[in-house]
Each structure stands twice: as C-alpha cells, then as structure tokens.
C-alpha cells in the first residue's frame, strides 16, 4: 500500500510538472515578449506568427518597407513585463521599453487575445484625442 501511494505521488507530480511546462510558453507575458523580441530583432516574419489576423498588417508593412534589408535602429530591451487579465481570452501587458542607445525608458502596453484558441498579440487602438470646442 505504501509503495502504491509513492508511485501515485510520483505520477501526480510528473503530471503537474508536465502541465506547467506545457502551458508556460502560452502565457500573455511569454507571447507578448516573444512578439516584441522578434520586432526588436527585425525578424518580422517571426513577429507575424504572434499577431492576430487584424494586426498582421504591421509586420507585413515592415517586411515591405525593409525589402529584406536590415534597418539601422536603436537597440531595445523589454523590462518588467506585467500582464493583467481582462477576461478569459484577453490581457493587457505593460512593460518598460529600454532604448540602449540613448539610455532612455518609456512605458508601453500591448494586448494579447485568444484567436481560434491560440493566444496572440493584437495592437491596441487608441482613442482619438479629444478636440477643444
């Protein structure tokens, strides 16, 4: 009986570890970070893999714009990624965008949403600024 309990505990522990490792790459944080890192590395084809169908125009535009040539740009790093779940199918992720060339930081956001059961990045459309009357 004692051996049966030990075997059961080992199997249950292994299943828990597998479940955690299988889901660890499909979190809002990991998807947003993978997308941003691909953009910053100018790998727009890879970045497109993480975009919703509505936001794939951004990497497509960058591919067309660069025509396969590397764009000379600032080195960037994502720091302090934190995501807040809005629902079962969406989250808003805030992060610090560090420009290594100018040593400046800015706070940015990106939204993740589920599309056809897959977690992807969708661009946040900002409301137009209010006009004074």
**pLDDT given at position 68:** 62
Number of domains in the chain: 1
The CATH number for 37's domain is 3.10.450.50
The answer to whether residue 11 is domain-embedded is yes
Asked, for residue 127, whether it belongs to a domain, the answer is: no
For the chain, 133 residues long, give each residue's pLDDT as a single digit of tens.
444 334 333 333 333 333 333 345 789 999 999 999 988 888 888 888 998 888 777 777 777 777 766 666 658 888 999 999 999 899 999 999 988 878 889 999 999 999 999 999 986 544 444 444 4
In a domain, 63, yes or no: yes
Looking at residue 10, its pLDDT comes to 37
Going by the DSSP 8-state scheme, the letter that residue 27 receives in this structure is S
DSSP for 78-100, written as a single string: EEEEEEEEEETTEEEEEEEEEET
In a domain, 98, yes or no: yes
- pLDDT the model gives residue 77: 86
Is there a domain that residue 10 lies in? yes
In a domain, 40, yes or no: yes
Whether the model pTM is above 0.85: no
Domain of 90 in residue numbering reads as 2-122
Q: Are 128 and 118 in contact (CB under 8 A)?
A: no
In a domain, 43, yes or no: yes
- CA distances 38 to 4, 91, 93, 109, Å, are 48, 20, 17, 16
């Amino acid at each position: 009986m004692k051996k049966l309990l030990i075997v059961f505990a080992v199997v249950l522990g292994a299943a828990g570890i597998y479940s955690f490792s299988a889901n660890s790459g499909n979190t809002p944080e990991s998807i947003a970070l993978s997308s941003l890192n691909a953009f910053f590395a100018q790998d727009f084809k890879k970045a497109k893999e993480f975009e919703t169908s509505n936001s794939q125009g951004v990497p497509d535009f960058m591919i067309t714009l660069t025509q396969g040539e590397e764009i000379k740009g600032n080195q960037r790093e994502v720091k302090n990624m934190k995501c807040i779940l809005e629902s079962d199918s969406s989250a808003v992720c805030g992060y610090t965008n560090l420009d290594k060339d100018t040593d400046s930081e800015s706070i940015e956001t990106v939204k993740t949403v589920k599309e056809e059961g897959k977690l992807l990045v969708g661009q946040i459309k900002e409301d137009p600024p209010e006009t004074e009357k």
